[in-house]
Structure formats: C-alpha cells, structure tokens
Structure 1
Amino acid sequence: MSYWTVIAVVSLLSWLWLLLGQGMFWRTDVRLPPGAEPREWPSVAVVVPARDEAEVLPVSLPSLLAQDYPGRASVFLVDDGSTDGTGQLAARLASGGGVPLTVTSPGEPPQGWTGKLWAVRHGVRRATADAAPDYLLLTDADIAHEPDSLRALVASAHACGYDVVSQMARLRVETGWERLIVPAFVYFFAQLYPFRWISRRGRTAAAAGGCVLIRRSALEAARVPDSIRHAVIDDVALARAVKGGGGSVWLGLATRVDSVRPYPRLSQLWRMVSRSAYAQLRHNPALLLGTLLGLALIYLVPPVAAIAGAAAGAPGVCAAGFAAWAVMAGTYLPMLRYYRQPWWLAPTLPFTAGLYALMTADSAVQHYRGRGAAWKGRTYDRPSASQLAAARNAEDDGVAEG
C-alpha cells in the first residue's frame, strides 16, 4: 500500500469509529425530555448578564418578561459596565409589565474573575438575598425564549430529577457565512461532547451557556460560580463542577429557544470561535498541534485523497477518500436539516473545518501576543496556578460582594 493509501484508509477508519463509537453525536433528536407538571411549581430566578447588549435586548428581554410560568418567577438583568445604555433600555422594556425585572450592576470584576461570571455571581446573590428560589435560569442577553420555555424547562428538570437542564439555543442562520459556519459549530460541539453521554454517569459534561436551568442546591454544592471564576468557557466548566460533585446534567438541542445575535460577516464569526478555542485546549501547544493534525486527518484528507487519487489514477486512494468524505457528509446532514439548510452544503464541511483550524491557530497566536480571550473590551489570560488554587477553595475565600 502506498503512503497516501495508508493515510486515506486511516481517515476512513477514523470516520467509521466516529460514526459508531462517539455517542451517535451526529443525531439531532436529543430534545428536552417531557415531564409531568408539578403539583406545586418551584420558584425560579432568571439571571441575565449583559454587557453592551442594547442592539439585541429589545428582542430577547421581552420574551423573558412574557413567560407563561405558573409559579413565582423574577428576572435579574446584570448590567456589566455597559456603555450603550443597556441598563436603562432594560428598565424601559419592563415598563409594560410581565415577570418582575430588577436591573443591577456588579462593578468591575476583580482579578481572577471573568466579567460574565462576576456578573452571574452578583445576579445570583441578588436573586437569593430575600427569598431563595428553587431554580435559577442562567441565560444570555441575546437569547429569546418562547412563552412556554421556562415552564417546559422546569417541568422537565422536576420530573426527570436533573440538577442542570441546558438547551443549545438555535443560532441565527441567514447570511452565507452563517450558513457555512454556524451549523458546523454545533456539529463540532456535539462531536466533542456527545449529548447522549452527558446525561449518563461518567466524565463527559457540558452545557450551553445561553440556556442553563440549575437547581439552587446543586449550584451551591458546586460552589458555582466561585469555583469556576476564571473559566472562559464557563458553560462547560459549570457542567463539570456540578457533575463532578455528583449532580446530574442534561444537554440537548432547543426548538423554542433562539439566539437573536447576528453574525453576518466572517470576521464576527471568526472572533466568536477564536476567542475561546485555545482556552478549550488549556493553552497547551501539544494539544494545539494534535488538534490541527487531527482536523487535517479527519476532515481534509478525505476530499484531497478522493480528488488527487482520481487525478493520479490511484483507485485505492480515491475509494478510501471518497468513502470517508461520504460518511462525513452523511453525519452532517441531520444538523443541516435541524438548521433547515440545503443538503448540498454537507460536502463543504472540509472547507469549513479548514476555517476552524485557522481560527484555532489564530486563537493561539492571539494568546501569545497577549490578547488572550478578548471580548467586548476585556482580555482574559491563562489563569495562574495561584488563581486556580484559589478557585478550588472558593468557599473559603469570602470574596466581598461588589
């Protein structure tokens, strides 16, 4: 067998393993499990960290204030140092009534905290100051909920006994770049964290930060957010903290929870991915190299082998490459259907994977240039050993309320 034949066959075997052995990650039927409505509805506090979100707030916030929830519910919007009038706009949007809204501000985060988690901490403290809720819904300012969203989340968590119920909001897919990159983003996430594995006992843990319903007792037992104060990828860190403490986590795709944030240009999507990609790899150069080589073997080799093998008259290389490419495209089709996109985008996945490889490499470059995980005027470097040790002992630190 030639060198290229071996590489093409290894790529094909990798895809067969992913197809059969990676938790059926490619299936999109993991949806919110139905649950019988409780006789007495638990109380819920919704915490919304927001920094310069005036553009999307008129669409997202009214959907929270209009929730049809039978129990006691309240919304706490935490204005994290916005300069575009986010807090004032939120107050005006709440003037029409609905679920009670409190607008509050935490001040600048102290060293060792990400801005979002500092805002979440402040919102949780405010929400639990008077009457501690049974559940907290952590949701982003760009997420819109259908009127029955909170009701369905609570019913599912209560009936199934989950400590965390999280839904990956359906992201906006309207422009050409969004169609090319967004479905693949969710596809890659599910490949890393197969949804079916998350709800089982084991180490796989993840959540989607746009919609996380968590039992207050589980949040306190996991010392969240203090125990993950440094985390850039805070949703996965939260799920790991809860599951590591013996809690149960469920994650699936949403049908009635949507992101309203537009990403019309490639540069915006690039920043969305690259700001946290190297953090996902724990700022480890060896993991970065392994990831880039893995992306090349799994996603780039199949089309190259299929096309080059056909051109060079190497039927073995061509057949192995084409078979791997076909399996890849077939596993991508369910995600494209979920996002209501045409089937012919499936063969373009290698091109998109190449873009993701470049975004990941750029994330590392930005880290070593001192720009870290830059987002909305803040930059987060890799946490130091002392910061990680402090996070592990968060309950003893007694950080003063901002």
Structure 2
Amino acid sequence: MSAIAWIAVGSLAAWVWLLLGRGFFWRTDQRLPRREEPDGWPDVAVVVPARDEAGVLPVSLPSLLSQDYPGRAEIFLVDDGSQDGTGALARELARLHGGLPLTVVSPGAPEPGWTGKLWALRHGIALARARGPEGEPEYLLLTDADIAHAPDSLRELVAAAGADGLDLVSQMARLRVVSAWERLVVPAFVYFFAQLYPFRWVNRAGARTAAAAGGCVLLRNGAAARARVPDSIRQAVIDDVSLAAAVQRSGGGIWLGLAERVDSVRPYPRLGDLWRMVSRSAYAQLRHSPSLLAGTVAGLALVYLAPPLTLCAGLLSVDGTAAWAGGLAWAVMTATYLPVLRYYRQPLWLAPALPFTAVLYLLMTVGSAVQHYRGRGAAWKGRTYPRPEAAPER
C-alpha cells in the first residue's frame, strides 16, 4: 500500500477504537441519575465566584434567587476584584427579586499560589461554614456567575446526590449557541471534552477517570473537607477536573453528565472570544509539556485531518485503499458528532465540518503554548497565571 493508504487505514483504526473503546463518549445520554426526594431536605450553601460579571448577572442571579428548594438555602456571591460594579448589582438584584438570602463579600486580591476563582471559592465556603446557629451546610453548590438554573435545579441536584450517595454531582451546562462561530465551535468543545473524559468512565464505580464541569457542581461539605478543597487544588487552572480528582482520591463518589435545564448565558459572538476561552487552559491541560503538545498535534492530525485529506488524495491519485479508508473514517467521525449536534439543536449538516473545527482547536492549543512561553499563559479577565510550581503546604 502507498503511504497515503497506510495513513488512511491508521486513521480508520483510530476511529473504530474511539467508536467502541472510549466509553461511548459520543453518546449524550448521561443525565442526572435517579432522584428520590429525602424525608428532610439538607441545608445548602450556593457559592458564586464573580469577577466583572455585570453583563450576565441580570439573567443568571435571579434564577438562583428564585430556586424552589424545600430546605434552607443561602447564596454567597464572592466579588473577586470586579471593576464593573458586580457586587452592587448583585445586591440590587436581590432587593428587586427577593427569594433566597444573598450575601456579597469581597475578599481582596488572591494570595500568591492561588488562582482567582479558587481564592473566591475559599472565602465563600469559609463564610458558608461559619454562618448562623444552624451549623454547617450539608451541601455546597459551586456555580459560575454566568450559569442560569431552572427553578427546580437545586432540588433535583440534591435529590440525585442523596439517592445514590454521591459526594459530587456535576452537570455540564448547555453553552450558548447563537452566533455562527458558536455553532461551529461550541458543540465541538463538549464533544472533545467528553472524548478526553468519557462520562461513563467518570460515573462508574471504582473509576480512575475524574472530571467535573465547573459551572455547576454540587459538593457534599464533608467530602470537601476530607479532600481539603479548595486549598489542595489552589493553583489549578483547570479547577473543575482538579476538584473532581481530589474528591475521588479522598474516597468520594462523583458523577458528571449533561444538563437539561442548566444553561450558560455568557455570549461568545466572535471567534476571538471563543479562542480566548479555549486557549487560556489548553496548554495547562497538557501539563505545559512540549512533548505532549507535539503528540497532541500529531494525534489531532491523524484522527481529524487525515480522513478528508486521504479521501481526496485517494480519489485524485486513483488510490482505492486510501479513498475508501479515508472516506469510512470520515463517515464514522461524522456519525459520532451527530448526537452532540442534536443535543444542541443544531443542523446536522455541520457534522462533516468537524475536521475544520478540529483545525481551529489545534491552532488554539498551539496558540496557548505560545502565549505560555511568552509569559501570558492562562490569562483571563486581566490576570495571568504562570506555570504552577508545587504549592507550599500549610
């Protein structure tokens, strides 16, 4: 066989393995597990880290304030050095909408060795634990400031965690898909994340794969204490995966799935917005390793770029093996992307364009590495986090 044919066959073999041997990552049926309403509803503290979120709070915060939760629940919004009046707006929204009690705190700039979000979570959790004569809450709902919840979201999360004895229940919020670039890039973000962390592998008993979606995490307070969260992960840029791994290492049961009525309202209308969202943590995902970066680039090229390229090359050179193997690999790739597009209610004709989207992600990953070596890696909202060293123990 020709070299092109060998590449095509190798890509096809990779796709057969991804289709059958990667935890059926492409399926979208991992939703909240069975729910049983408890006899008594436990206390919950909702902790919301917020930095310059005035643009999204009018949509997201009222959805938390109006939670239909039968037990005691309270919201702690941690204003992480905002310059746009986030804290004042949150207080005004609570005054206008009522609902769950809201406390707004501003802990100041993070100490060295802490990322801003985890610093904010640390103060919010500490405040929740020290609150009131009723004692510490049984659960912590850690949710981002751009996440809007259906009225029964908290009730459903607590019921699911209690029914299966889970210590961490996380839902990947449905991201906004409105602009053309969002349609092209956002569903693929969820697809690639599930490929990297297959939800079935995360959710099975005794799993070694750990992941969570940071926008919506219900965490048992006792499990957080055992895992020393967030102190034990205070330097993590990819904090949601690090959080799940810490809980899992401490013996906690974790679960991750797709959300049905938990939505991100943050817009990413331009390619540059999406580029910054992905590239800020892409190289951190590769542990800032040049060798892992090179392997990732080669892997993305073989898996996503080789099928259409070898198909075209095979047709032009009348290389039948290259053409059929490349075409079949592209067909398998397209078929695995369809469930995610259906979940996002997007046109199915976008599925064959996945190789082009993969090129964008490849460039974003390389760009993330370039930014890191220029000293601007993991930049977000005016902060840049350098390559983390070992965090000092306290």
TM-score scaled to structure 1, two decimals?
0.96
Q: Write out per-residue CA displacement over residues 44-94 of structure 1, whole angstroms, 9 at most, x where no aligned residue.
A: 000000000000000000000000000000000000000000000000000
After TM superposition, the structure 1 = structure 2 runs for residues 361-380 of structure 1, keeping only pairs within 5 Å, are: 361-380=366-385
Mapped pair 1:249 → 2:254: yes
User: Following the alignment from structure 1 to structure 2, what is the Cα–Cα distance between the partners of residues 42 and 94?
Assistant: 23
Note if 1:316 corresponds to 2:332: no
**Percent of aligned positions that are identical:** 71
Which amino acid in 1 is paired with 2:341? L
1:67 is matched with 67
What CA distance in whole angstroms lies between the structure 2 residues aligned with 1:260 and 1:66? 17
Supply the AA of the counterpart residue of 1:90. Answer: A
The structure 1 residue matched to 2:295, chosen from 290, 308, 312, is 290
For residues 382 and 93 of structure 1, the distance between their equivalents in structure 2, rounded to whole angstroms, comes to: 38
Which residue identity is paired with 2:167?
A: D
The answer to whether the aligner puts 1:276 opposite 2:281 as a matched pair is yes
Deviations 1:289-346 (A, max 9, x none): 0000000000000000111111111111000000000000000000000000111100
Q: CA RMSD in A?
A: 0.6
Please tell me whether residue 100 in structure 1 is matched to residue 92 in structure 2: no
Shift, 1:34, TM fit? 2.5
Aligned 1:156-167 pairs, distance under 5 A: 156-167=160-171
Q: In the alignment, residue 142 of structure 2 is paired with which amino acid?
A: L
Question: Do residues 333 (structure 1) and 334 (structure 2) align?
Answer: no
2:7 aligns to what?
7
What is the rounded CA distance, in whole Å, between the counterparts of 2:17 and 2:232 in structure 1? 35
Distance 2:363 2:191 in 1: 17
Amino acid across the alignment from 2:306: V
Letter in 2 for 1:16: V
Instruction: State the SS of the aligned residue for 1:49.
Output: strand
Which piece of structure 1 moves more, 278-287 or 376-385? 376-385
Question: Equivalent of 2:176, from 166, 172, 195?
Answer: 172
1:47 partner SS? strand
Deviations 1:5-63 (A, max 9, x none): 11110100000000000000000010011211000001000000000000000000000
The AA in structure 2 aligned to 1:338 is: Y
The answer for unaligned runs of 5 or more in structure 2 is: none
1:26 corresponds to: 26
Give 1:3-402 correspondences, 5 Å limit. Answer: 3-95=3-95, 96-130=97-131, 131-200=135-204, 201-385=206-390, 387=391, 390=392, 393=393, 397=394
Give the ranges of 4+ consecutive aligned residues of structure 1 lying more than 4 Å apart after TM superposition: none
SS at match of 1:166: strand
- Of 145-154 and 124-133, deviating more is 124-133
SS at match of 1:88: helix
AA in 2 matched with 1:50: A
Look up the equivalent residue of 1:59 and give its one-letter code: V
2:380 match: secondary structure: coil
Contact 1:34/1:152 (8 A) holds in 2: no
Query: Is contact 1:78–1:106 with CA below 8 Å preserved after alignment?
Result: yes
CA contact (8 A) 1:78 1:119 kept: yes
TM-score by length of 2: 0.98
Q: Secondary structure at 2:384's aligned position in 1?
A: coil
SS of the residue aligned with 2:181?
helix
1:344-395 superposed Cα distances (whole Å, 9 cap, x missing partner): 100000000000000000000000000010000000011123x2xx2xx4xx
Tell me the secondary structure at the aligned position of residue 371 of structure 1.
coil
- What is the distance in 2 between the residues matched to 1:319 and 1:21? 22
Q: Deviations over 1:273-303 (max 9, x none)?
A: 0000000000000000000000000000000
SS at match of 1:319: helix
CA contact (8 A) 1:205 1:236 kept: yes
Range that drifts further, 26-35 or 226-235? 26-35
**Following TM superposition, by how much is the alpha carbon of 1:202 offset from its aligned partner in structure 2, in angstroms?**
2.3
Count matched residues. Answer: 389
Q: Deviations over 1:176-204 (max 9, x none)?
A: 00000000000000000000110121210
